[in-house]
């Protein structure tokens, strides 16, 4: 295998993984606040459409990303209202959000079928991009790839190093205690849901702006669900979300290249691999339930203020 | 908890049901369509829906059409099809290979409903099958690809190893090989009909490995878009995809279901419908080609047109011997053409294609 092919494979892995990084981080920040949101898929596709429509209207990438984040956050706000204020069942509401997002984007996106977004410019990092093999693969990308890594670092820093992050985690671990300490469980969860929605929206827009780049309905094709699995796989840690997403992206890209190179491993096995790894990770987590790999204590539980 | 009011409501509900059944005799013929992808996929499902619209246009008030899109192949399909039949559809078109068993199963429960299943091989008294000889189109595509490739590498994005897909790969390969003995096919199976992201990734992988012309047997226009971006060529699938690849598209196989749908609906309405097996090609208009792209040189165009004409007139068959199977065992003797039975059940690569079927 020559180096230029290796370099293109690495490059493709980063591109294929980036939507999962954003969406996974979006799910993570919600779950760390104790909110289980199964609507990631719906948030992604709404973001995908918003970003695409903005790019098509001739606005620069930054605006497309902001539009995608705003669309994701708006849809997530509906979820927040239903779950936090009206005490709707979060699982059912999340599923409904997915279906709603898919339907809404199909309806509003029908006019964009057959159109193509302008190509996103590449930010080549000077010097580093001159390195052999990894130069092109790692340092010659669209800005969103770098943003996704920056986001993971930012979220890690926020959760680990800031007081606000500590409060968010407290709400996720035990909302009753957090409430009795005087923190606004509702307010913090609302913000977490909105931020998570924005990230999922950006993840979706990466599909329509860079990876594919066109819009057709249903084009997220299950990536929202993979993002949810990634968070569990990552045991609710931001950098492990990146690792998981890249592992997933690697397996899916390498199996495509393997086929084209004529490798004889059945492609079905390779397609299964990421999911198998997730199941194994879940089993390991469950068998060490008392360790610090467990889910946030109040995850998915409805909080009602006692009056 | 059942109280007087809900009993009353239930009574009204049944009364209204009876009413609906009693007037249905005077109502238009109701025709249902089950689609595997979204209508807006700009490919396979889009063309079936154009067929549906042609039926509506032809018969106006005499028909009423309904469709359900993005129905996954499996238990879900059975639910959707039987729901459609229960809702009073007189005729149902199920438009993907994976609906075969659900269609047969539901057809047993609704003997008075006429079913039409696309690309399958199981029939019953009230289940007809139909398909197009896409491989005739693949032959022409293969000729163009063989002539135009500079790297002698054609990338092929395939969905599932069913006979229809395998046939397409073989037909295209044999044609390309006939005009370019050093041509190579790289095949990637993506195990989906519709996942634009994955199809795009597969397209990039093939291009990175040296393919300069892409063919696909999946349903989205993503590979065409990637070909356009990377400055190489591709063939549209199922529908004209020039909008996604104004420079990239060399031509496209267009599945034109309208002539068949219009004819069969008419037969259903006048009572002459029977369970048949239709397999139409260029000659019936069910397979058509999009206008050639501007990159196609005149001599290649002339060669492609000649092949298309010869196939239409029955002078040329895409599978003409001598052809060996991949393992070297002889399949077709010199001058022998493949019979439909073998083609319909094709589960082997022809000699020269690398890799194995999944």
Closest CA to B31 of B119, B95, B125, B100: B95
> Which chain B residues touch A119 with a CB distance below 8 Å?
229
Query: pLDDT by residue (tens digit) across B293-338?
Result: 999 999 999 999 999 999 999 999 999 989 999 999 999 999 899 9
CB A208 within 8 A of CB A48: yes
Q: Is residue A23 part of a domain?
A: yes
Nearest CA in chain B to A110: B40
CB A72 within 8 A of CB A46: yes
**Do B195 and A119 count as a contact with CB atoms less than 8 A apart?**
no
Structure tokens that stand for B32 in this block: 């249902």
Domain count, chain A: 1
Complex-level ipTM: 0.85
The answer on pLDDT for B14 being more than 60 is: no
The answer on pLDDT for A4 being more than 50 is: yes
Query: Burial letters for B233-242: b for 16+ Cβ neighbours within 10 Å, e otherwise?
Result: bbbbbbbbbb
Enter the CATH code of domain B134-255+286-344: 3.40.50.2300
Query: pLDDT by residue (tens digit) across A228-272?
Result: 988 988 889 999 999 999 988 888 888 888 888 877 666 677 667
CATH (domain of A187): 1.10.3470
| Contacts of residue B276, Cβ cutoff 8 Å, sequence gap at least 6 | B128, B129, B130
Q: A111 lies in which domain range?
A: 3-119+132-287
**Do B205 and A253 count as a contact with CB atoms less than 8 A apart?**
yes
What is the CATH class of B27-132+257-284?
alpha beta
Q: Where are the domains of chain B?
A: 27-132+257-284, 134-255+286-344
Measured in angstroms, the CA of A210 and the nearest CA of chain B are apart by 10
pTM: 0.83
> Which chain A residues touch B201 with a CB distance below 8 Å?
12, 16, 211, 252-253, 256
Query: pLDDT by residue (tens digit) across B180-193?
Result: 999 999 999 998 88
The confidence score (pLDDT) of residue A259 equals: 85
Measured in angstroms, the CA of B355 and the nearest CA of chain A are apart by 5
Can you spell out the DSSP letters for chain A?
--HHHHHHHHHHHHHHHHHHHHHHHHHHHHHHTT---TTHHHHHHHHHHHHHHHHHTT--HHHHHHHHHHHHHHHHHHHHIIIIIS---HHHHHHHHHHHHHHHHHHHHGGGTT--PPPPPPEEPTTGGGSTTHHHHHHEE-HHHHHHHHHHHHHHHHHHH-HHHHHHHHHHH-HHHHHHTT--HHHHHHHHHHHHHHHHHHHHHHIIIIIS-S--TTTTTTHHHHHHHHHHHTTT-HHHHHHHHHHHHHHHHHHHHHHHTT--S-HHHHHHHHHHHHHHHHHHHHHTTTSTTSPPTTTT-------
Domains B27-132+257-284 and B134-255+286-344 share a fold: yes
């Amino acid at each position: 295998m020559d180096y230029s092919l290796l370099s293109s494979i690495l490059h493709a892995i980063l591109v294929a993984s980036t939507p999962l990084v954003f969406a996974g981080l979006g799910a993570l920040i919600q779950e760390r606040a104790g909110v289980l949101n199964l609507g990631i898929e719906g948030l992604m596709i709404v973001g995908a459409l918003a970003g695409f429509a903005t790019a098509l209207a001739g606005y620069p990438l930054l605006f497309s990303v902001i539009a995608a984040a705003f669309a994701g956050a708006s849809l997530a706000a509906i979820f927040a209202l239903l779950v936090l204020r009206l005490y709707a069942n979060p699982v059912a509401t999340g599923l409904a959000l997915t279906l709603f997002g898919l339907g809404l984007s199909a309806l509003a996106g029908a006019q964009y079928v057959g159109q193509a977004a302008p190509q996103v410019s590449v930010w080549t990092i000077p010097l580093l991009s001159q390195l052999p093999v990894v130069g092109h693969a790692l340092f010659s990308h669209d800005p969103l790839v770098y943003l996704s890594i920056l986001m993971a670092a930012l979220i890690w820093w926020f959760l680990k190093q800031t007081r606000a992050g500590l409060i968010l985690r407290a709400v996720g671990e035990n909302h009753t205690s957090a409430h009795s300490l005087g923190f606004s469980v509702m307010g913090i969860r609302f913000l977490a849901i909105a931020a998570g929605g924005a990230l999922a929206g950006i993840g979706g827009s990466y599909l329509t702006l860079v990876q594919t780049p066109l819009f057709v309905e249903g084009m997220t094709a299950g990536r929202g669900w993979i993002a949810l699995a990634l968070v569990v796989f990552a045991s609710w840690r931001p950098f492990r979300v990146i690792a998981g997403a890249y592992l997933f992206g690697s397996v899916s890209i390498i199996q495509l290249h393997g086929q084209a190179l004529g490798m004889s491993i059945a492609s079905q096995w390779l397609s299964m691999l990421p999911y198998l790894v997730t199941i194994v990770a879940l089993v390991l987590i469950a068998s060490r339930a008392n360790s610090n790999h467990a889910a946030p204590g109040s995850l998915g539980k409805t909080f009602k203020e006692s009056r | 908890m059942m109280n007087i009011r809900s009993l009353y409501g239930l009574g009204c509900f049944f009364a209204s049901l009876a009413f609906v059944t009693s007037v249905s005799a005077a109502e238009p013929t109701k025709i249902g369509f089950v689609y595997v992808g979204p209508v807006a996929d700009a490919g396979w499902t889009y063309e079936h829906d154009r067929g549906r619209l042609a039926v509506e246009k032809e018969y106006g008030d005499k028909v009423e059409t309904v469709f359900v899109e993005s129905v996954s192949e499996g238990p879900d399909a059975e639910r959707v099809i039987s729901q459609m039949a229960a809702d009073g559809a007189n005729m149902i078109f199920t438009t993907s290979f994976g609906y075969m068993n659900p269609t047969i199963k539901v057809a047993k429960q609704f003997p008075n409903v006429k079913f039409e299943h696309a690309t399958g091989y199981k029939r019953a008294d009230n289940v007809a099958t139909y398909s197009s000889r896409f491989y005739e189109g693949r032959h022409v595509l293969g000729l163009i690809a063989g002539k135009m490739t500079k790297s002698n590498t054609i990338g092929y994005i395939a969905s599932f190893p069913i006979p229809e897909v395998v046939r397409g790969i073989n037909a295209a390969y044999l044609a390309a090989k006939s005009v370019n003995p050093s041509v190579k096919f790289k095949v990637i199976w993506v195990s989906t009909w519709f996942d634009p992201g994955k199809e795009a990734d597969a397209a990039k992988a093939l291009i990175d490995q040296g393919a300069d012309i892409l063919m696909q047997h999946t349903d989205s226009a993503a590979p065409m878009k990637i070909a356009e971006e990377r400055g190489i060529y591709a063939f549209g699938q199922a529908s004209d995809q020039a909008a996604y690849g104004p420079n990239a598209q060399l031509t496209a196989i267009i599945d034109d279901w309208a002539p068949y749908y219009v004819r069969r609906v008419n037969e259903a309405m006048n009572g002459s419908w029977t369970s048949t097996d239709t397999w139409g090609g260029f000659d019936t208009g069910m397979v058509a080609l999009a206008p050639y792209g501007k990159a196609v040189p005149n001599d290649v165009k002339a060669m492609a047109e000649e092949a298309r004409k010869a196939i239409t007139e029955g002078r040329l068959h895409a599978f003409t011997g001598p052809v060996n199977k991949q393992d070297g065992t002889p399949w077709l003797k010199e001058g022998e053409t493949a019979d439909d039975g073998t083609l319909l059940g094709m589960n082997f690569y022809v000699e020269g294609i690398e890799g194995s079927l999944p």
